[in-house]
C-alpha cells in the first residue's frame, strides 16, 4: 500500500502551461533552435533493398558552391560501438534495407544540401532481397524474448484437448498491417560539436527522453556523458518513434563532428521517415477459443507471426495481453519472427497491446455470435478473479464496470438489429475491451529547490504533447502541500537530473513518484519554512514499490459504424470509451490523450496501412497524401469517460498511465460494428470498402 | 531540388513566348502540384514562368448561356460561384470533393486539369517510371495498383519493361465533371489560339506515357468554357474514396441526366480514378440513349462499358474491385438523379 497524496492540484482541469507558447509559435522545436550560422544536412539513402555499396562518386555534389562536407561509408568517422546495426551509420558497405543511410551532405542551405544529396552517385552490387512476411515461411524463429522483456512463449494446460472437447471451438486468423508512427514533427536534430567547449557535443533533438538519448549517443560515439548535452523542451509528437534514437540522430552528430564549431541541422523528410524512424510490424494472429454453451472459456490461445529487420531484432509482444485478459484453464501464446530485408521496426503507441487486442477481441465477438450471446455479457462471464498469468490479485480491475457503464452511456441495450438499414446506410454497433499495463521505470531523479518564494523542480522528463509541463507541477504541488502556482517544473534537458523515457505510459508514474520522494525529502530536511537555496533530491527507487499485485488499466470501447449499401464506404459517427486508469491527474490533458488514442485506433481500423511493395522493397505509399490517417471528416462524436478508480498500490498519485490505452481495442470494436452492420467479418486490417463489396446486396 | 530561373513576365503572350523558347520551361499557376514535384525532383525545369496573375480570374457569362472560367480563377471561387452551383452542380460538387480548403484556395481552373498522376512510383524518383523517365519501365505492374487504371490499359499485367506501359490514373475530380459537361478548352500557344474539346485534352498513354495531354510545349490554358446544359438537365458528382476527405478517388462518377420525355432520357457519364484520362462512358451512354433509366438498364449499360476493363493484380488484392464499384456507384448516382427529377 502506498500513501496516496491528498488530491488538491491533482484532479484539476488546468490548462496547459505550454499552450500559449505553442499556439503563438514561440515554443522552439529541435530544428528551430536558434543557433549562429547553421549548416544543413541531407541524407543519402540506399536505392537497393539488399547489397553492397561498391563505389560512391561525390564529385558532382562537392563541386557545388556551398557544399561543406560529404560523408560516405569510406570517409565517415569510425564509431566506438557498432553493436547496434541500426545505429552503425556509414560503418559498412553492406546495405540491409532500401532507404538505409549511405551518406550525408552538409551545405550552407537545406535546399543546396538536398540538391547535392541528389548528385551523389552510389553504385551497388545488388543482391536478391526477401521481404514478404507469411505464416508458412520455413525460417520463422522464436526470439529469446519479446519487447519489454516478456517471455516469447507461454503455455498452461492443454489447448488442443480443450478445443477438441469444447461445445464451441473457434479458430481464426487475423492480421494487422504495417503502421508508421508519423508524428507531425519529423525526426529532427540541431547538433553542435565544439571540441574546445566544456560540453563539446550539444544535441537539440526531438526525443521522448533526453537522458536515454544521450546514453545511446555516448555509447555509439564513445563519449562520456559529461561531454554531451541533449535538450528537448517540446516534441511535436512521437508515438514511440522518438523513444529510442534512430539513425538520423547519429548521422546529425557525425555531420556536426565533421564540421567543428558549426551547428548542423538535420530533419528527415516525411518520405525518409518511412525507412529510418521505426514502425509497427505487420502481425498475423492465429487465435483459438474454446467455450461451453454459456460462454465460459476453456481455452484461449494466440500464435503470432511478425517481422523484424535482418540487421536488428525487434520483437513486438503481440501475444502478451492474451496471457492476462480473460479467465481460462487452458492457454497458450507464442511469437515467431521472420528476419527480412526491411527497415528496423520499433515502438509504436501500445506495442503489444495495440495489435494484440485486435485478433482476440474480434474472435470473442465471433464466439458471441456463434453462441447467440451479447458480446458484453460474454466478456463479463470470463472475468478472472486474479491475474491468470501470475496468480496475483489485481491492484484494481474494473473492466466489468467499464463495460457496463459504457453500455449504458452508449445505449447498447437498444442497439439496432443486425444489418439495420437507415436510408443508404447499413448501421451496426460493436464493442471491445482495452487494457494496458501500469508501469514504472527503475531510474528517475527529481530535484526540488526553493527560491524566491517558489519551488522549482527539475527532472529530465519529456512532454511529447501529453501534458507533462502541466501535470508534473500538479503532482509536485500536492506532494509539497502548496498551491500549484507556486511550483515550477523544468523538463527536457540533460542538465536536469536523470529521467526515464516517455514510453509505456510510464512517464507520470515514474517522474511523479520521483517528485513525491523529493518533496518528502525536502519537507523532512527543511520543514514547512524553507530558505532560499534549500534543495533536496529524490529517486524513484526510494518510492514504495508494490510487487504483490498485478497492475493494469482497463477500458471498454463502443462503436457505431455505418456502411454505405452501394459503395461499401465506412463511416464511424460514434466512438465511446470508458476507462479505469486510477486517479486522473488532469482531466483536460487526459481527455486529449484518450480521444487521441481512440482516434488513432479508428485510423488503424479504417485507414492506416503502410503498403509494402516487395518488388521494390519499400513502403509504396510513403507520404501523408497516400498513407492515410483518419482526418477530421472521418471523426464524429468521440467520447472518453473514466471511472473514479481508487488504486492504493500503484504509486503515490494513484495513477495508472493513460497514453496508450485509448488505441487498444478500438480497431476490434470497429470491425465488430461493421460485421453487425453488414454481416461481413473483416479479419485483416484495414477495413476498406473493397473487403465489404461482395457482402453487400 | 534542382535550381531554376523564375520569371513573371508582363503578359500572357510574353509568358507563352518565354516558355516556348526554352525546352525545359514550365508554367506555374497555383503550384499545388508543381511545387511538390520540384522538391521531389519529379519536375526538373530550368525555367519556371509564373502566370498566376496573367490569365483572367473572371467567371463570366457567355452569349450562348454558358459560362467562361478564367484560367486563374481558383477552385474555391468556381465552387462558390452562384451560377456554377445553380447551373453546373456537378462541377461545384467535384471541386469541393477535391483536396482541402487550403489547396482549393490556391489551385486554379487552368492548373487543376493539368495536375499529374499521384501514382506512387511516378512520384518517387528512385523507382522506374515511363511517365517520369521515358523508357525506364513501369514499377506499378504487379505493385501497388489500388489507385491505378482498369480502363484504357491493354492487359491485366502489361509488360513492365515495355516503354509504353503505364497504368496511371488522372487524379483530378474537376476534370471528370468537365468531361461530362463537354467543356471547351481555350488555349494560347506560340502558333496562336485554338479551342480543344475537353474530352480530347487528355490522352491515353499510347506509345508515350510521358504526355498527359495534347497540349504542345508552350501552350497555355487561358479559359474553360462551359456550354449551357439542356433545360431540365440535372447533374451530380459522386466520389468514392478511402477516407471521408482529402483522398483521391478510387472511382468517381460525373453524371448529367436530361429527361427527353416519358420513359426516355439522355445521360452523360464520365468516370474518374479508372483511366489515364477522365473517362467519358460513351458506350454506356449509347446503350441508355432514349430508354428508361432503370437500374437494370444502367447495369447493362455499365457491363457494356466495362467489357474491356482490365483489373490490375497487385498488392492487397489489386484493383479489380473497381469494376463492380464503378457499376454500383453509377447505379446509385443515376438513381438519385432520376429520383430528383421526378
Instruction: Decide which of A261, A276, A291 is a domain's last residue.
Output: A276
Please tell me whether residues A673 and A527 are part of one structural domain: no
Domain membership flag for residue B273: yes
Residue A112 and residue A70: Cα distance in Å, rounded?
12
Distance CA A628, CA A645 (A): 36
Rounded Cα distance between A339 and A346, Å, is 14
Bond preceding residue B22 cis, omega within 30 of 0: no
Contact A1/B at CB under 8 A:
no
Q: What pLDDT score was predicted for residue A673? A: 98
CA distance A13 to A35: 37
What integer pLDDT is reported at residue A3 of this predicted model? 82
Q: Parallel, antiparallel, or unpaired: how do β-strands A454-458 and A635-642 relate?
A: unpaired
Q: Are residues A506 and A631 in the same domain?
A: no
Cell matching residue B120: 506512387
Considering its fold, how many domains does chain B have in total?
2
- B340 pLDDT more than 90: no
Provide the pLDDT confidence category of residue B339 given band limits of 50, 70 and 90.
Answer: confident
Q: Name the pLDDT band for B342 (thresholds 50, 70, 90).
A: low
Alpha-carbon gap, residue B92 to B78, rounded angstroms:
7
C-alpha cell at B151: 480502363
pLDDT digits (tens, 9 = 90+) for A33-42: 999 999 999 9
Residues A267 and A327 in one domain: no
Mean pLDDT of B282-289: 97
- Asked if residue B327 has pLDDT above 70, the reply is yes
User: How far is residue A431's CA from residue A493's CA, in Å, rounded to a whole number?
Assistant: 42
Residue pair A35/A682 in contact (Cβ under 8 Å)? The answer is no
Count interface pairs A-B at CB distance under 8 A.
Answer: 90
User: Please, are residues A229 and A494 in contact by the beta-carbon 8 Å criterion?
Assistant: yes
Indicate if the alpha-carbon torsion angle A511, A515, A518, A520 is positive or negative: negative
- Which of A276, A308, A334 terminates a domain? The answer is A276
Q: Say yes or no: A575 and A492 in one domain.
A: no
Q: Does A608 qualify as catalytic in the annotation?
A: no
Looking at the structure, tell me whether residues A415 and A475 fall in a common domain: no
Q: Which residues contact B248 (CB under 8 A, 6 or more apart)?
A: A625, B118, B147, B171, B241, B273
How far is C-alpha B195 from the geometric centre of its chain's CA atoms? 17
Does residue A25 belong to any structural domain of this protein?
no
In a domain, A19, yes or no: no
Q: How many CB atoms are located within 10 Å of the residue B161 CB? A: 13
Q: What are phi and psi of A524, to 5 degrees?
A: -65, -35
Average pLDDT over residues A186-209: 98
Taking the Cβ of residue A636 and every Cβ of chain B, the question of whether any pair is shorter than 8 Å is answered with no
The per-residue pLDDT for range B47-103, each reduced to its tens digit, is 999 999 999 999 999 999 999 999 999 999 999 999 999 999 999 999 999 999 999
Angle, in degrees to the nearest 10, between helices A666-678 and A359-371 = 40
For the sheet with B192-197, list strands across it.
B59-61, B67-70, B220-226, B184-189, B192-197
For residues B29-55, average pLDDT: 97
User: What is the CB neighbour count within 10 angstroms for residue A27?
Assistant: 16
User: Is the minimum CB–CB distance between A620 and chain B shorter than 8 Å?
Assistant: yes
Count of domains for chain A: 3
The answer to whether residues A300 and A364 belong to one domain is: yes
3-class DSSP string for A534-570:
CEEEEEHHHCCCCCCCEEEEEEEEEEEEEEECCCCCE
Q: Which residues of B touch A689 (CB under 8 A)?
A: 240, 242, 250, 321, 325
Indicate whether B220 belongs to any domain: no
Q: What CA–CA distance (Å, rounded) separates A338 from A351?
A: 18
The boundaries of the domain holding residue B280 are 234-341
Give the burial string for B104-124 (b: 16+ CB within 10 Å, else e).
bebbbbbbbbbbbbbbbbbbb
Q: Are strands A618-619 and A612-613 parallel, antiparallel or unpaired?
A: antiparallel
Mean per-residue pLDDT of chain A: 98
**Is residue A104 assigned to a domain?**
yes
pLDDT score at A1:
65
A297 with A347, same domain? Answer: yes
- Same structural domain, A293 and A172: yes
Shortest CA distance to B206 belongs to which of B247, B137, B154, B157?
B154
- Closest A-chain CA to B331: A566
Task: List CB contacts of A363: < 8 A, sequence separation 6 or more.
Answer: A170, A172, A174, A287, A289
- Residue A482 covered by a domain: yes
Contact with chain B for residue A47, Cβ under 8 A: yes
Q: Are A625 and A688 in the same domain?
A: yes
Residue B335 grid coordinates = 438513381
Angle of the A666-678 helix axis to the A587-606 helix axis, nearest 10? 50
Closest residue by Cα to residue A241 from A189, A185, A315: A185
Q: Are residues A264 and A329 in the same domain?
A: no
Q: Please report the DSSP string for B285-338 in residue order.
A: HHHHTTS---HHHHHHHHHHHTTT------GGGTTTTHHHHHHHHHHHHHHHHH
Residue A22: inside a domain: no
The pLDDT, as a whole number, for residue A71 is 98
What is the arithmetic mean of pLDDT over A397-413? Answer: 98
pLDDT digits (tens, 9 = 90+) for B247-261: 999 999 999 999 888
Residue A288 has pLDDT above 70, yes or no: yes
CB of A114 less than 8 A from some CB of B: yes
Which residues constitute the domain of residue A70? 38-127+182-276
Question: How would you classify the pairing of strands A394-396 and A550-564?
Answer: parallel
In the predicted structure, residue B341 carries a pLDDT above the cut 80: no
Those residues whose C-beta lies under 8 Å from the C-beta of residue B193, and which sit 6 or more positions away, are B186, B187, B222
Spatial CB neighbours of A46, under 8 Å, sequence gap ≥ 6? A53, A95, A97, A98, A99, A100, A101, A102, A122, A124
Q: Which pLDDT belongs to residue B262?
A: 81
**Distance (Å) from the alpha carbon of A312 to chain B's nearest alpha carbon:** 25
> What is the DSSP track for A436-478?
EE----S--EEEEEEETTEEEEE-----SSSSHHHHHHHHHHH
- pLDDT at residue number B302: 98
* Residues of chain B contacting residue A625, judged by C-beta atoms under 8 Å apart: 118, 248
Task: For residue range A328-343, list pLDDT tens digits in order.
Answer: 999 999 999 999 999 9
The whole-angstrom separation of Cα A584 and Cα A683 is 35
Is A4 part of a structural domain of the chain? no
Percent of chain A with pLDDT over 70: 100
A442 touches chain B (CB under 8 A): no
E strands, B131-200, in order: 184-189, 192-197
Partner B, chain A 265-324, Cβ-Cβ below 8 Å: 271
Q: Answer whether residue B98 is part of any domain.
A: no
Spatial separation of the C-alpha atoms in residues B187 and B324, rounded to whole Å: 37
The domain spanning residue B272 has which CATH number?
Answer: 3.30.390.50
B17 occurs within a structural domain? yes
ipTM of this model? Answer: 0.97
CATH number at residue B9: 3.30.43
Q: Which three cell numbers stand for residue B193?
A: 489560339
Residue with cell 470470463: A382
A682 with A378: CB under 8 angstroms? no
The pLDDT value given to residue A324: 98
CA distance A334 to A150: 11
In a domain, B270, yes or no: yes
B311: in domain: yes
Cα–Cα distance, A477 to A484 (Å, whole number): 5
- Give the one of B1, B142, B328 whose C-beta lies nearest to A114's C-beta: B1
Residue B192 predicted with pLDDT over 90: yes
- Inter-helix orientation angle A468-480/A507-526, to 10°: 30
Considering A542, A563, A593, which residue would you say is the last residue of a domain? A542
Flag whether A30 is in a domain.
no
For B53-63, how does the pLDDT look when each residue is reduced to its tens digit (9 = 90+)? 999 999 999 99
Q: Which residues of A touch B247 (CB under 8 A)?
A: 628
Asked if residue B9 belongs to a domain, the reply is yes
Residue B119 in any domain: the answer is no
CATH number at residue A257: 3.30.365.10
Cβ neighbours for A690, distance < 8 A, ≥ 6 positions apart: A568, B317, B321, B325
**CA of B244, closest CA in chain A: separation in Å?**
5
Amino acid at each position: 500500500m502506498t500513501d496516496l497524496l491528498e488530491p488538491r492540484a491533482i484532479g484539476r482541469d488546468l490548462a496547459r502551461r505550454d499552450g500559449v507558447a505553442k499556439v503563438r509559435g514561440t515554443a522552439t522545436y529541435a530544428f528551430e533552435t536558434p543557433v549562429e550560422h547553421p549548416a544543413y544536412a541531407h541524407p543519402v539513402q540506399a536505392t537497393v533493398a539488399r547489397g553492397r555499396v561498391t563505389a560512391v562518386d561525390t564529385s558532382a555534389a562537392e563541386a557545388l558552391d556551398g557544399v561543406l562536407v560529404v560523408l560516405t561509408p569510406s570517409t565517415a568517422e569510425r564509431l566506438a560501438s557498432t553493436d547496434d546495426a541500426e545505429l552503425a551509420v556509414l560503418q559498412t558497405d553492406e546495405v540491409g534495407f532500401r532507404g538505409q543511410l549511405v551518406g550525408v551532405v552538409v551545405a550552407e542551405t537545406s535546399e543546396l544540401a538536398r540538391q547535392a544529396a541528389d548528385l551523389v552517385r552510389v553504385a551497388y552490387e545488388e543482391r536478391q532481397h526477401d521481404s514478404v512476411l507469411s505464416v508458412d515461411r520455413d525460417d520463422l524463429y522464436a526470439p529469446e524474448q519479446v519487447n519489454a522483456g516478456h517471455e516469447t512463449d507461454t503455455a498452461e494446460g492443454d489447448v488442443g484437448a480443450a478445443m477438441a472437447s469444447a461445445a464451441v471451438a473457434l479458430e481464426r486468423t487475423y492480421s494487422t498491417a504495417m503502421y508508421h508512427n508519423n508524428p507531425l514533427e519529423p525526426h529532427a536534430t540541431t547538433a553542435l560539436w565544439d571540441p574546445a567547449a566544456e560540453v563539446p557535443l550539444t544535441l537539440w533533438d526531438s526525443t521522448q527522453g533526453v537522458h536515454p538519448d544521450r546514453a545511446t549517443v555516448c555509447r555509439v560515439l564513445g563519449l562520456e556523458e559529461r561531454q554531451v548535452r541533449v535538450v528537448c523542451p517540446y516534441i511535436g509528437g512521437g508515438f514511440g518513434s522518438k523513444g529510442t534514437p534512430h539513425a538520423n540522430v547519429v548521422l546529425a552528430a557525425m555531420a556536426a563532428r565533421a564540421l567543428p564549431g558549426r551547428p548542423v541541422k538535420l530533419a528527415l523528410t516525411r518520405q525518409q521517415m518511412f525507412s529510418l524512424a521505426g514502425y509497427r510490424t505487420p502481425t498475423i494472429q492465429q487465435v483459438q477459443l474454446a467455450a461451453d454453451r454459456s460462454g465460459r472459456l476453456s481455452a484461449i490461445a494466440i500464435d503470432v507471426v511478425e517481422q523484424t529487420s535482418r540487421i536488428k531484432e525487434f520483437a513486438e509482444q503481440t501475444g502478451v495481453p492474451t496471457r492476462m485478459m480473460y479467465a481460462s484453464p487452458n492457454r497458450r501464446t507464442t511469437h515467431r519472427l521472420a528476419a527480412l530485408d526491411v527497415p528496423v521496426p520499433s515502438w509504436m503507441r501500445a506495442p503489444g497491446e495495440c495489435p494484440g487486442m485486435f485478433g482476440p477481441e474480434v474472435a470473442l465477438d465471433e464466439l458471441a455470435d456463434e453462441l447467440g450471446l451479447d458480446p458484453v455479457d460474454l466478456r463479463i462471464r470470463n472475468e478472472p478473479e486474479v491475474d491468470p498469468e501470475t496468480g496475483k490479485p489485481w491492484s484494481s480491475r474494473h473492466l466489468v464496470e467499464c463495460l457496463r457503464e459504457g453500455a449504458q452511456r452508449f445505449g447498447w441495450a437498444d442497439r439496432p438489429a443486425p444489418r439495420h438499414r437507415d436510408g443508404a446506410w447499413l448501421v451496426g454497433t460493436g464493442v471491445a475491451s482495452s487494457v494496458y499495463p501500469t508501469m514504472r521505470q527503475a531510474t528517475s531523479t527529481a530535484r526540488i529547490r526553493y527560491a524566491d518564494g517558489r519551488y522549482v523542480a527539475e527532472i529530465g522528463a519529456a512532454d511529447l504533447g501529453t501534458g507533462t509541463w502541466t501535470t508534473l507541477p500538479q503532482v509536485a504541488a500536492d506532494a509539497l502541500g502548496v498551491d500549484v502556482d507556486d511550483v515550477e517544473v523544468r523538463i527536457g534537458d540533460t542538465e536536469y537530473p536523470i529521467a526515464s523515457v516517455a514510453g509505456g505510459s510510464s512517464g507520470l508514474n515514474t517522474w511523479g513518484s520521483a517528485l513525491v520522494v523529493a518533496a518528502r525529502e525536502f519537507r523532512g530536511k527543511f520543514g514547512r519554512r524553507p530558505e532560499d537555496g534549500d534543495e533536496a533530491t529524490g529517486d524513484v527507487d526510494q518510492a514504495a514499490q508494490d510487487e504483490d499485485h498485478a497492475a493494469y488499466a482497463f477500458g471498454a470501447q463502443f462503436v457505431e459504424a455505418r456502411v454505405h449499401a452501394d459503395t461499401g464506404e465506412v463511416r464511424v459517427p460514434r466512438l465511446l470509451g470508458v476507462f479505469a486508469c486510477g486517479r486522473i491527474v488532469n482531466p483536460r490533458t487526459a481527455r486529449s490523450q484518450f480521444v487521441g488514442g481512440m482516434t488513432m485506433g479508428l485510423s488503424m481500423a479504417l485507414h492506416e496501412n503502410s503498403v509494402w511493395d516487395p518488388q521494390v522493397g519499400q513502403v509504396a505509399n510513403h507520404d501523408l497524401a497516400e498513407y492515410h490517417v483518419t482526418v477530421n471528416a472521418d471523426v464524429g462524436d468521440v467520447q472518453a469517460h473514466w471511472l473514479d478508480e481508487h488504486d492504493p498500490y500503484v504509486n503515490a498519485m494513484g495513477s495508472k498511465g493513460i497514453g496508450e490505452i485509448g488505441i487498444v481495442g478500438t480497431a476490434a470494436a470497429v470491425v465488430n460494428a461493421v460485421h453487425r452492420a453488414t454481416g461481413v467479418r473483416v479479419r485483416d486490417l484495414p477495413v476498406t470498402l473493397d473487403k465489404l463489396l461482395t457482402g453487400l446486396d | 531540388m534542382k535550381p531554376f530561373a523564375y520569371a513573371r513576365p508582363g503578359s500572357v503572350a510574353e509568358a507563352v513566348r518565354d516558355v516556348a523558347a526554352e525546352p525545359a520551361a514550365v508554367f506555374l499557376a497555383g503550384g499545388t502540384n508543381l511545387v511538390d514535384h520540384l522538391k521531389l525532383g519529379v519536375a526538373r525545369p530550368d525555367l519556371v514562368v509564373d502566370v498566376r496573375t496573367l490569365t483572367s480570374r473572371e467567371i463570366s457569362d457567355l452569349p450562348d448561356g454558358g459560362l467562361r472560367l478564367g484560367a486563374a480563377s481558383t477552385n474555391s471561387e468556381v465552387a462558390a460561384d452562384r451560377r456554377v452551383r445553380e447551373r453546373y452542380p456537378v462541377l461545384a460538387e467535384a471541386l469541393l470533393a477535391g483536396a482541402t480548403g487550403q489547396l482549393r484556395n490556391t489551385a486554379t481552373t487552368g492548373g487543376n486539369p493539368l495536375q499529374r498522376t499521384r501514382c506512387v512510383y511516378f512520384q518517387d524518383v528512385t523507382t522506374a517510371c515511363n511517365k517520369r523517365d521515358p523508357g525506364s519501365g513501369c514499377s506499378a505492374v504487379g505493385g501497388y495498383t489500388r489507385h491505378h487504371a482498369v480502363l484504357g490499359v491493354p492487359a491485366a499485367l502489361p509488360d513492365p519493361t515495355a516503354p509504353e506501359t503505364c497504368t496511371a490514373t488522372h487524379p483530378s475530380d474537376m476534370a471528370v465533371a468537365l468531361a461530362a459537361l463537354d467543356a471547351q478548352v481555350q488555349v494560347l500557344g506560340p502558333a496562336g489560339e485554338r479551342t480543344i474539346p475537353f474530352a480530347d485534352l487528355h490522352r491515353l498513354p499510347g506509345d508515350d506515357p510521358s504526355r498527359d495531354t495534347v497540349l504542345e510545349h508552350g501552350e497555355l490554358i487561358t479559359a474553360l468554357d462551359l456550354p449551357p446544359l439542356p433545360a431540365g438537365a440535372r447533374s451530380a458528382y459522386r466520389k468514392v474514396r478511402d477516407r471521408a476527405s482529402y483522398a483521391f478517388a478510387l472511382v468517381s462518377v460525373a453524371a448529367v441526366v436530361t429527361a427527353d420525355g416519358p420513359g426516355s432520357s439522355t445521360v452523360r457519364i464520365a468516370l474518374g480514378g479508372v483511366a489515364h484520362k477522365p473517362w467519358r462512358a460513351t458506350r454506356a451512354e449509347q446503350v441508355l440513349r432514349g430508354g428508361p433509366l432503370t437500374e437494370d438498364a444502367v447495369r447493362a449499360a455499365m457491363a457494356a462499358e466495362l467489357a474491356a476493363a482490365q483489373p490490375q493484380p497487385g498488392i492487397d488484392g489489386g484493383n479489380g474491385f473497381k469494376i463492380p464499384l464503378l457499376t454500383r456507384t453509377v447505379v446509385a448516382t443515376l438513381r438519385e438523379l432520376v429520383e430528383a427529377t421526378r
